[in-house]
Chain A
Amino acid sequence: KNEVEQSPQNLTAQEGEFITINCSYSVGISALHWLQQHPGGGIVSLFMLSSGKKKHGRLIATINIQEKHSSLHITASHPRDSAVYICAVMEYGNKLVFGAGTILRVKS
């Protein structure tokens, strides 16, 4: 079993829908990242969280350290949001451990 579990693995949504991607982890961490990877593209860090909630535009990320759980929300989804979203936890020593990713497709 992976130390970082994401759900769902695949997600198809209609444009405008509210999207939630979940991440659970089983190890002690210093921080959690939400990453975005477009097809054939590089990896971009969307959020770094150690507690609470962060918002950037239509994206919201939350983390519950006690429950070892984080969520990434996308409001008013758009086809350009189609990408792979990856949860990664930072173990002590700056080592990132990744979830398997969630493939999001937003249809117009």
Chain B
Amino acid sequence: DTAVSQTPKYLVTQMGNDKSIKCEQNLGHDTMYWYKQDSKKFLKIMFSYNNKELIINETVPNRFSPKSPDKAHLNLHINSLELGDSAVYFCASSRLARWDYTFGSGTRLTVV
């Protein structure tokens, strides 16, 4: 069983579209994250939710909206996609104040 699963794995879309990436974890973790890896392979946190509450919200355009229906899911919705949004987006989960980070396999988003 996949511990942290993201869908889709690849997403190609046109500028201006709205898209969502889904993330689910079956580890019983209470905290979930979205990270963005840019073209230079640099990873940076975007959001973190603990028990469905937003606890980290880095400087991210408000076109990006995370949604956590329960503590096992953290979805990322992106409005009005731009070319610069092209990147690999990683979901991760952990237990708060613990170090047991587990990453998803990533979603490669290409905006054309």
Contacts and interface: CB of A to CB of B under 8 A. Distances in A.
A96 B45 contact: yes
B43 A42 contact: no
Contact of A43 (B48, B90, B99): B90
Interface string A8-32: 0000000000000000000000110
Contacts, number: 59
B63 interface: no
Contact of A41 (B41, B44, B45, B105): B105
A72 interface: no
Interface residues on B, range: 20 to 34
Interface of B: 31, 33, 35, 40-45, 48, 55-56, 90, 92, 94, 96-97, 99-106
Interface of A: 30-31, 33, 35, 37, 41-45, 48, 50, 84, 86, 88, 90, 93-98, 100-101
17 contacts: A30-B99, A31-B99, A35-B103, A42-B103, A42-B104, A43-B92, A44-B103, A45-B103, A48-B99, A86-B43, A94-B31, A94-B33, A94-B96, A95-B48, A96-B45, A96-B101, A101-B42
